[in-house]
Amino acid sequence: MLRWCPLASVGTDAPDSRGNSRWMVFANGTLSITQVDLEDRGQYLCTAANPHGAARLLVTLSVVAYPPRITGSRWQLLTAHSGKPVTMKCKAEGRPSPTVSWVLANKTYISDSLAGNNKVHVETDGTLIIKEVTVYDRGLYTCMAKNPAGTDKLIVKLQVIAAPPAILEEKRERVEVMMGENLKLPCTVEGNPQPTVHWVLSDGTVVKPLQLLNAKLFLFSNGTLYLSSITSSDSGNYECIATSSTGSERRVVSLMVQHRDTLPKILIILEVGQKPSILIHPTRPVTGISGESLSLHCLSDGNPKPATINRRHILIMSGQRGQNTCNSAFPLKSANVKLQKPVHPMEALTLSLQPQLVHTKVPLTSRVYNEPPLLLSST
């Protein structure tokens, strides 16, 4: 029978060939200890016995271990710009190799074996990486290196340089624009980290970068708001807001839309007059008998409608000369048809229709349209 036991455990069951945790005794009597640490150091007694007697072997186990030691200074001051990545190195030596973990400024514990988040993580060599640092990340960071022989620490003080958003244009501005025009409202910002910009319309609508609203408003990535085909309904306040982790800044633009002055639009309606004209044109001579009545028809046309005077004549004197006149006229104007009376009684009468040409004033009527209304005066 053979068994092993530490001297501190003499009288207790030692590991046997079936193994126990990290200890195992092989068939040939060899004791195996895996993952030796400082707690395993000391003396081990091997006892071999049979009916004829017993033999003992005392073995002293020394475990060599070096406590962790972080290379470099135990205190560091690190300055970073907001929005930039930050790297904190923590390289440690020791035997066995120490494990490295970090305690963040917000008291969060993180190590290479303990997953961080999308912003903070620890590399296998113990380096702490913050992807985009903000003012809220400033503070003390503690690196701890541990192994069975001890612990070592490194403290890093992180300072974050940041500038609040600043808008370069006037904080309050009044802009006047003519109806139908296009307009650009700039909003140039600076800051660290780089601020984001959005606009708020008078009705509370929010316009974000590269967003097209109502097919007439567009916000460029540089913060400029573009308005097309401006109407009177676009009047009001437009507010540019720049924000970052360090604060916010605002700019208000009061937009006034003016009506465009236009030249008077005059619509002239011409009512063209037509001079009087005699419509009757006999195709042959008109004859009559002396002493009897004779009807002479006088049809006329014109614009305005002419006043036609028909005269009914009775020819009673033979040999008497004279004329019958048909008047077709505007007021004060006339066209005449003359009838020469026969010289001899019973002689056939010949009617010659030759209307006179007259000069006529043409009335013009005008109507005026304009926006805004145009006042007309007569002189």
Are 209 and 254 members of one domain? yes
- 376 domain residue, yes or no: no
| Cα(379)–Cα(377) distance, integer angstroms | 7
> Which of 139, 161, 183 is where one domain is finished?
161
- 133 domain residue, yes or no: yes
Are 203 and 277 members of one domain? no
> Which of 235, 258, 281 is where one domain is finished?
258
- CATH number of the structural domain spanning residue 169: 2.60.40.10
Structure tokens at 240: 């540019």
CA distances from 210 to 207, 221, 245 (A): 9, 6, 22
- 360 domain residue, yes or no: yes
- 138 domain residue, yes or no: yes
Number of domains, the chain: 4
Q: In the chain, pLDDT over 70 holds for what percent of residues?
A: 65
326-365 confidence digits (pLDDT tens): 554 444 344 444 444 444 444 444 444 444 444 444 444 4
157: number of Cβ within 10 Å = 14
Q: How many CA atoms lie within 13 A of 228 on its CB side?
A: 8
Are 42 and 119 members of one domain? no
> Which of 258, 289, 317 is where one domain is finished?
258
Are 138 and 215 members of one domain? no
The reported pLDDT for the residue numbered 17 is 45
What is the gyration radius of the CA atoms in the chain, in angstroms? 59
**3-state SS track over 101-142:** EEECCCCCEEECCCCCCCCEEECCCCCEEECCCCHHHCEEEE
| Cα(133)–Cα(138) distance, integer angstroms | 8
52-80 confidence digits (pLDDT tens): 889 999 999 988 888 999 998 899 999 99
Reference 110, options 137, 78, 143; nearest CA is 143
Are 71 and 153 members of one domain? yes
Residue 265: pLDDT band by 50, 70, 90 thresholds?
low
The reported pLDDT for the residue numbered 282 is 67
Give residue 11's domain range: 2-61
Residue 37: pLDDT band by 50, 70, 90 thresholds?
confident
Coil, helix or strand for 182?
A: coil
| Cα(359)–Cα(335) distance, integer angstroms | 11
Are 156 and 191 members of one domain? no
